[in-house]
Structure formats: structure tokens, C-alpha cells
Structure 1
């Protein structure tokens, strides 16, 4: 007997066993005993996690967390005797079942999350499924469970508690409403599998959406239609002194909590000499071996990236005119390596430190290659830059993944230059100006630095492309806010002065100086000095 024939016969046997005694419900035989409902399914156990569900593992860092996810993956899955209802082999096909994984996920919920799940199941049974025959039973408890899983993983519900778990109900209910409207309910483990494909479509889908939308318009008062729930909440809903909060700001979406987190770790610290770098490295080594929370890990990761960036330029600045070629080559190779290492676990914008180093060491083509790669990454629609992010695209692209992955793939910030370390000579006056008034770092808008480096590199290679980079810098002015305008105009003026356009440079420097009332303008002294140099150059031209 071939393996395929055995599977077909086993499927038929499973169906014949369950049908006489139970009501057929998907791959299960459903029944009740002593008032308790249950499902029974004949299945095969698989010790391996299916490859089609492998991407799910990478989503499980915020919820359910690596420990639970690893336990689920180690436990494998099951195969149950049910095929695609619209396919030609419905009675011969088998389907992957994640019932054991779902069991572990439900038990990983905290009390408030579990209450939300229970509230949704009651609402489904006593309200949604008490409708017309056309819409009755279109939604099942599995859809409810899936909505809770997605809400937990995408939003993480960080502030969910017994006092506001109704707000969690509202988040999941709105997600169900969205799925019915679109006709797509993505499986939690294999999202490309649409669990609505055979039931929620056509006129039934339309009627179900209309009914759910009517409930949605009632707000949380729709819960009064559930006999079991009504008893517990009617006093609250009709008490003028009490309110139920459905403000989803109290259950912050993933992108919001991530923005706050990455802002908190976007900082630098002073590493002004080589022996201090070694001291920090030893401290990092000890910390890595100690038990850390996920937040502590991501904080340590970013601080280590900052340290490596500073080390690379400190090592370069330690070189003297008497350094031999071999010594310079080895030092530059080591610096390049640690900068690339820093970029592997830093922000997307940290790639620009590599471009700065290549420009500083006269490797213009290599710098331009890094700049082009950075442009591609910065052009992604899900990029989080500062406090700006497209929430839906961000969640779709990196939702549920680890903070480390998000930081490397989807987060960018402005460039911070330590004011005591020379990164590129063109900005030394600005760093010195900031240092004089006590600034540890000089913050430069990310896109301003990108186009600045592009201009500086191309002016040694191709004048036309250099002018194009300058035009890009000039036309991108609207991107720079929150006090970054002064250094933006300063950089634009530097580029114009290098090209010999002194009048344009003077105007740009004056614009930079006019923003001196902003608290983040630390370059006033440098700007005044540059204005003086440009005016002298203009006067000298007129005198000749």
C-alpha cells in the first residue's frame, strides 16, 4: 500500500469514526458531555515545525516571546484530515494543525489578556452568532482567537489591565470588522492562508459586515446584547459618574511604543581616547555574559555601536605623518571592520559613518557605494525616522520582530558627531563651536549628511554628479525640522562656497545665523567666522 493511499484511507476512516457520534466541525467531531462542549480530531503528530510557518518564529519577540516560541517550535505540529473545501480533493487532502501551539499561546496570556479573549468568545456566541441564517456561524471561535493573537503581537497591549480590558476587546473587535470588510482573515502562523476564503464572501460577507458595523456604531454598549455580560456592566454603562474608556492611546500600537523606545536609546556618550575605548569594551564583555532584559540588551547594543564608531575615528586620528604605509593600512582595515560591525547592530542611518570614514580616507567610490545602499534602505515606506512613521506599513514589515531586527532594518535617526573627535575636516569649525559652549555632540539631519557626503565625494570624481547632489541637498530643505535648520543651511553654504558660488553661500550662512534663537543652534560662532571669510573673498573679487 502506497503512502498516499494510506493517507486517503486514514482520512476516510477518521471521518467515518467521528460522523456517527459527533457533529462534523471542520476536521473535528464536535459534541458535548455533561454540559461541556469539546472537539475530537484524529491526527498525525509531526515532530518538525513546517517550513511554511518559519517566518512566524521571527515575529515572536514582543509576543509571545522567545521562550514560548521556542517551546512551540520544538513541539512541532499535527496533520488533520480535512482538505480545501473549494478544491477537487477535499476528502483526500490533509491540513497542518497548530492546535498545540495555540494552546501554549493561550496559556502564555496574562490574566487581562485572557479576560479579553473570554469576553470576545462570549460576544461571538451570544451576539454575533445570534443573527440571520445567512450570517450565523460565519465567524467561529478560531477567528476570535486569531484576532486576539494578532492584536497581542502587533500592538503588544502593554497597558492592558483589569480596569481597561474592555479597550482590548474593542481593538480586537475592530480588527475583526476590518477583516470581514476586506474578506481576508490571515492565519496567525501562515498569514498567506486566508481563513475566510471558503465562507466569508459574496452576499454573506456584505450582510455580516453590515451587522458588525451596526454593533460597532453602538460602541461598548453593544456588549449589553450579551446576557452573560450585561449583568456585569449595565450598572457601569448607566452610571453617569462612571465611564468605560475605549481610547486606544491607552493601548499603544507597536509603532508608538517602538518610537518611544528608540528615542530613549538614541543617545551618545563621550569616548575621547583609546584607553577609554578599551575600558568600555571590557565592561561590555562582562555585561553580555550577565542576564539582561530585552530593553537592556537593545540599549547595550546601540551603545556598543556608538563606541565602535568613535573608536574607528579615534584610531584614524591617532595616525601621524610618520606612520608607515603598512601601519596605516592595518589601522584603516581595522577601523573599516569595526564600523561595518557597528552598522550590523545599529540604526540604518549608522551606515553613513562608514561613508564618512571612506571619504576621510580618500576612498570616494567606496563611500558612494555605501551612500547608494543607504538611499535604498532609507527609501523604504516603513522607515521610522525620528518620530515619523507609517504605522500600518511599519507593522506589516517588522511587526512582532525583535527590537534588534527593527533597529537594523527600519529605524533611522540624525547623525551625532562627538565634538572632540574629527570625523571629516569640513565640519571641524562647527564641532569646535559646539564644544565651546559645552555641547558633547553635534546633531546633523540624516538626509543633510547623506547629500553632503555625496557632494564631497563626487566633486573629486564627476562635476555634473556633484552639482546634482548639491541640488538634491537644496531641494530637500523641507525634511529638516526641530532645530536642524541651522546646521542644514550651514552645510548647504559650505557646499556652495566650495563650488565658488559665494553669494549663494553668504545667503545660506545668513539663514543659518538667523536661526540662532533655536536652542539647538550650537554653531553660531562657526557661522559668523564663515560669513566673515565669504565677505572678505567677495570684497577681494570686487577689488580685482
Structure 2
């Protein structure tokens, strides 16, 4: 591969490197797009973590999604830990805690491999999960990682163990919740990392990393004496901060290594045969940056950057040693890459190395960025600069921006008590005044505000059933005000929460008025919903306006119903079914809910109009308009059609709709409710089958 240094082909290599840079910007993301994704996640977690109390759980998105990647097929990694537990490295650190409020756990690394530890419980735990996870060794009680993992996974019906995580699937997306404990202190075994930080990262970044401590995740070393009970030291937060301070060429080099791993090295292999993982790629990039092996990380140098990282990985495989970036004594190859497998992997990698530039070109044309590279290279004069190639149109960027605000991990779990006590709203009010908010975080904060206002409004109404009329009237006024305010903060379809509330409180004419207004707004050809977007009309209608204005005028989203909050009585069985299956939210396409509310309101006074609305709903579902009903929402869409047919007396049609609902992808986890409704129809009229 040293042939790429041949002066005769330097220009060609630089041009190809630029094409790869452009291709990666389209697949991985431009610098602006990656920054936007990170800002969105950061503000969402700031809101969530600031409202939690000491006896609750905290969490953070980690892994590739937190770093700014949105690669197809990648898992969403999340770390969760109990707030009322803290891990310490030495007994003198107990002085920093109130032991009446927090239970302390002491690290015992004396008999564990580097990077791993046993966790010794210093005082009895009040939590059933922790007590059940303890094992007695040498007259001490240690929290066993394997027992803790087993207990936490069994508490969630649809979770299965996956490494240190409780893994669950929502639709096509895999979610890994890493079960962990938090430590406010930097590990003594990682002190050498501080001494290595001369040029990268900068001192203030290194200080911030050390100040924020580390985590412990529930997995032991496969070759350790106490594998079932050990915990691995996790530097997930530190790694996130390091990735954030990479320049974009460094980040794209990391992205190219991830693509190379997924689409070439591990393509077609079973899980047990995948010896290298994304974490090894990230570790290689960290080491190369810190050792200053490459003086210039730039688009023209991208292939050189990739090659230096590739050679480092080759060296590690040859030696059988992959040193952890923070604790070099932790050889991450030790339990997996050795013996025959190590020899086979090295032979394969060395064969690639020997082919040099030929291998690189062949690999690039095998990756998903192939078409982007070809498009760039078809302009041999390179009259268009790289910056122009990597630009995203206003409409496409808005689609990605709003997609981030509406992702289903927007608020991992809404805290009901925090809504009742207005802690969310108080936190948001404080944040709005912050001068350091980015423009992307303001958009996310608006969306969170709308969601919290809507949830709080319905929660308030749930608590008014036993109140006197005067207090109930005041609560109703507050709820209505919150829902109208949410519609000003949010998107077009947030008006449907007002319609739901009016229907719930028997104000059918007011509900129908809101529905008609929403219909007109949704009918505009420039409205954006999921991936459906008429770019030309969108740009003509709202181009150049603020994101707040675009949200109000041109954005539609699914209606999100928290399963613990009663919205309308007709959907309570579906919420209960989702709750039984540990699903937190129902997602309903806006047109589906709109027609449902119209049918429910009109059936009280105008059966002909109710039938017209039912026919419109039937047509919408029959024609499978995927731009209006995404595949993952078809289970709830057929279900709602069945509910509307049932309440209007067409039991045969309702039965068919419920049966169709069962045939769809069970994204909303409503099968129990569907079975119950089918049984109910058959009991009412045994002749229907």
C-alpha cells in the first residue's frame, strides 16, 4: 500500500479521497448534520435528567447514535443506572456522600483483569433487584453482574440478555439498555491516560472527562476468575466527548472503518465469527489521533488516514493485543482473537494489505458509498468544490431535522409525577433563557414542550373526577390553555390533541371545528410527514422561514399516546395491551385519528356524516397509501377502523378489520386488545365468524 505515496499518482489519490469524503458526507452525514443530531440528543437528555430525583433512574444514549451516526441496521444503545447508588474506588471517598440517601458500592479490583472489577456492597440495599443480585464471597456481599442482568431482563417481558444489556426490539429497531452503575471518580487504573493527553484531547476536554468519572456495565471478563460476578469499567461518556471533538475528516475516517467492517469484513459472517467490532475501529482512531501519526486530517488525505488506522489494526491482530484506549493493560483481543482464529484473521487482513491500492479501490466500489464516489469522479475537472458537493438542500435538511425531533426515543419515559408538579415545564423555562442553546436545540425544546404540555393537560383532567365543580372548571381551563399553547409550539397535527380533549369532555362541535381546520392544513401539498415530502412545493411554500414557522405550517407527525394517560375511552384497551407488553407509547397516523374523532363526534348527532367519515377512513386504509400510513402503523390503523365499524354497528366488517390488524407488524403491541375485541364480537353475535 506504500505505493499510494508514489508522486506520480498523488493527485489521483487525493481526488479519489475527496470523492470518498463526499460519499461519506452523504451516507454518514455532513458536519452540520452530525452536529444537529448531537445537539438534539444532548438537549433531550438535559431535560430528562434534570427532572429526575435521587430515587429514580437516569440514562443516556450511547454508542453510534449518540456519536452522530444514523447507519442503517445499527442498534440504539442506551445506558441506565439507579440514582441512589454510587460506586467509589476507596473508602475515603465516602465523605462526599449522604449515606442516608445513597447506597455506596466499593470497587475490588484485586482479583480481576485490567478494566474489570468486583462491586462490594458497603451497606444493605433496600432495592429488591440489588438484594437478589448479591453473592457472598469472603464474608462480603458483592453485586453479581450476571444475576443483576438476569433479574433486570426478567422484569421486562420482551427483553433478552445481550452482553451487558437488556435488549428489546421495537419494529425493525433493536434497543440495547446497558445495565450499569455510575461512579463520580476517574479510575486509578486509567491515570496513565491523563498523562498521555499532551496534544489530544485539549486540556479542558481531558479535565472535563476526568471530572465526570465512569460507569460500570454488567459483564465480566471471559477469562476472569469471577466472570459471572465482575463488572466492566465503561468509558462511554468519555468516548462520546472524544468523538465530539474530532474534526469531520477524523469522524468520517471512523465512519469509513465502520462501513468497511460491516460491509466487507463481517459481511455474511455469523455472530460468533465476527472477531472485529466497531469498538475496535473507534479505539484505533483514538490511538492514531493521540499519537499524532497523521499531521493533516483533511478530505484529500482521507484514504491515507484510513490506511494508517487499517495498518494499526493489522499490527494489533498480528500481536494479538488491542490495548484499551484508557486502560492499555486491558487487552480487548484476549478472550476472542487468539490461536487459529487470530492466524486466520491476520492472513485475511495481510492479504488485503499486500494488495495495497488495488484492494482499497476494490473495497470502495463494494461499499454503499459507491454511487456517490462515481458521481463525484464523473466530474474530472473538479470544477465544483467539495463544499458544494456536501451541501444538503433546505428541504432535505429540514426533513432530517424534524425527523430527529420526532424520533421515538424523544423522551425515553415521561415521568408522570414530574408533569403533575410541573418540573418539566420549570426545567424548560430555565433552559429557554440559556444563551448557549444552539438553534437545533431550540427546535427540540419546542417539540418537548408541546409533548409535555399535552401530557400534563390530560393528566390534570384525569385527576378532576372527584373534584368540586368549581375546581374542575378551573382545571379544565388550564388543560385547554395548555393544549392550545402546545399547538403554537408544535406542528400541524398537535391540534388533534385539542380535538381529543374536546371529544373527551363532550364538546363535539368544538372538536369538529378543530378537525376541519386540521383537515385543511393537512391537505396542503407541501406538508411533510415521515419521509413523504414534495421538495419543490415545500420550498416554494415555506422556504427561508424559521423552523418554528415551518413546524406550525408544514410538519405533520404521528399522534403519540402515553399508555399511562387516558385520552379517549375508545383506545383504553389498546393502551392496556401495550402496557402489558412493556410498550410505552402508541403511535397513530394523524389522518387515522382525525377520521376516528370525526366518526365518534358525528355519530352523536349526524349518522350520515359519520358514515361518510367511516367511508373515508376505509378508503384510506384499503388503498394502502404508505405516504399517509407507514408500514409500522398499519396494526393500529386497522384496529381503529375496526373500532369505528364496531361502534357504528357493522360487526362483520369490524371483525375483518381486527383480523387484518393481527396480520400486520405488531409495532404498537396491541394484539391482546385485538383478541379481546374479536372475542367480544363473537360473544355478541355467535353467527359472525
Instruction: State the TM-score bracket (shorter-chain normalisation).
Output: 0.5 to 0.7
Deviations 1:476-519 (A, max 9, x none): 1123122111111100100111111111110000000111xx25
The structural deviation recorded for 1:425 is 0.7
SS where residue 685 of structure 2 aligns?
helix
Alignment equivalent of 1:315, drawn from 460, 473, 484: 460
Q: Following superposition of structure 1 onto structure 2, how do residues 22-101 of structure 1 map, counting pairs within 5 Å?
A: none
Distance 2:618 2:467 in 1: 40
Rate the CA distance shift 1:257–1:541 in 2: closer, same or farther, 3 A: closer
Q: Aligned runs of 1:203-282 on 2, under 5 Å?
A: 237=381, 250-266=390-406, 267=408, 268-269=410-411, 270-277=413-420, 278-282=422-426
**Counterpart in 1 of 2:674?**
527
What CA deviation, in whole Å up to 9, does each residue of 1:39-69 have, x standing for no partner?
xxxxxxxxxxxxxxxxxxxxxxx9xxxxxxx
Match among 362, 367, 371 for residue 515 of structure 2: 371
1:298 is displaced (CA, Å) by 0.7
SS at match of 2:586: strand
Q: Normalised by the size of structure 2, how large is the TM-score? A: 0.43
> 2:609 pairs with 461, 465, 474, which one?
465
Following the alignment from structure 2 to structure 1, what is the Cα–Cα distance between the partners of residues 519 and 376? 46
Q: Is 1:496 aligned to 2:645, yes or no?
A: yes
Summarize the Cα distance change of 1:505–1:256 in structure 2 as closer, same or farther, 3 Å threshold: same
Other structure's SS at 2:686 match = helix
What's 2:595 paired with?
A: 451
Could you say what secondary structure the match of 2:442 adopts?
Answer: helix
Q: 1:341 aligns with which of 485, 493, 498?
A: 485
Deviation by residue 1:133-180 (Cα, 9 ceiling, x = unmatched): xxxxxxxxxxxxxxxxxxxxxxxxxxxxx969xxxxxxxxxxxxxxxx
Matching of residue 357 in structure 1 with residue 501 in structure 2 = yes
How far does residue 533 in structure 1 lie from its aligned partner after superposition?
0.6
For the 8 Å contact 2:419–2:456, the answer to whether it is kept is no
Q: Does the C-alpha gap of structure 1 residues 397 and 280 become closer, same or farther in structure 2, counting only changes over 3 Å? A: same
Q: CA offset at residue 271 of structure 1?
A: 3.2
Shift of the alpha carbon at 1:244?
A: 7.2
- Aligned residue in 2 for 1:46: none
| CA spacing shift, 1:468–1:222, aligned 2, 3 Å | closer
Q: CA deviation at 1:435?
A: 1.4
| Aligned residue number for residue 430 of structure 1 | 574
- In 1, the alpha carbon distance for the partners of 2:444 and 2:383 equals 39
**Alpha-carbon distance change, 364 to 163 in structure 1, aligned in 2, over 3 angstroms:** same
Q: Which range moved further: 411-420 or 245-254?
A: 245-254
Query: Relative to total residues, which structure has the larger strand share, 1 or 2?
Result: 2
Structure 1 residues 220 and 433, CA, compared in 2 at 3 Å: closer, same or farther?
A: closer
Pick the aligned partner of 2:560 from 397, 407, 416: 416
What CA distance in whole angstroms lies between the structure 2 residues aligned with 1:507 and 1:259? 36
Indicate how the Cα distance of structure 1 residues 243 and 521 shifts in structure 2: closer, same or farther if over 3 A, else same.
farther
1:283 and 1:247, CA in 2 relative to 1: closer, same or farther beyond 3 A? closer
Q: Does the CA contact (< 8 Å) of 1:346 and 1:407 recur in 2?
A: yes
CA distance in 2, matches of 1:492, 1:222: 51
The residue aligned with 1:537 is 684
Partners of 1:377 and 1:249 lie apart in 2 by 35
Q: Does 1:383 align with 2:540?
A: no
CA RMSD, 1 decimal: 2.8
Distance 2:565 2:586 in 1: 11
- List runs of 5+ in structure 2 lacking aligned partners: 1-32, 34-297, 301-374
Is the CA contact (8 Å cut-off) linking 1:272 and 1:421 kept in structure 2? no
Q: Secondary structure at the match of 1:251?
A: coil
Q: 2:445 aligns with which of 284, 300, 305?
A: 300
Checking the alignment, whether the CA contact within 8 Å between 2:498 and 2:511 is kept in structure 1 is yes
2:587 touches 2:668 (CA, 8 Å); kept in 1? Answer: no
Deviation of residue 387 (structure 1)?
A: 1.2
Question: Relative to structure 1, is the Cα distance of residues 222 and 317 closer, same or farther in structure 2, using a 3 angstrom cutoff?
Answer: closer
Q: Secondary structure at the match of 1:400?
A: coil
Q: Is the 8 A contact 1:429 1:526 kept in 2?
A: yes
- Secondary structure in 2 matching 1:476: helix
Looking at secondary structure, tell me which structure has more helix per residue.
Answer: 1
> Are the counterparts in 1 of residues 585 and 668 from structure 2 also a CA contact under 8 Å?
no
Contact between 2:583 and 2:668, CA under 8 Å: does it hold in 1? no
CA distance in 2, matches of 1:409, 1:453: 22
Kindly indicate whether structure 1 or structure 2 has the higher relative contact order, using CA contacts under 8 Å at least 6 residues apart.
Answer: 2
Segments ≥4 residues shifted beyond 3 Å: 219-223, 242-250, 274-277
Judging changes above 3 Å, is the alpha-carbon distance between structure 1 residues 397 and 328 closer, same or farther for their aligned structure 2 residues?
Answer: same
1:474 paired residue among 618, 622, 643: 618
CA deviation after TM superposition for structure 1 residue 358, in Å: 0.2
Q: Is the Cα contact below 8 Å between 2:489 and 2:548 reproduced in 1? A: yes
The aligned counterpart of 1:508 is 657
Assess, with a 3 A threshold, how the Cα gap between structure 1 residues 249 and 520 changes in structure 2: closer, same or farther: farther
Matched length:
310
Alpha-carbon distance, 1:324 to partner: 1.8
Preserved contact between residue 272 and residue 420 of structure 1 (Cα < 8 Å): no
Match of 1:35 in 2: none
8 Å contact 1:274–1:314 — kept in the other structure? Answer: no
Alignment of 1:111-122 (within 5 A): none
Q: Which has the larger radius of gyration?
A: 1
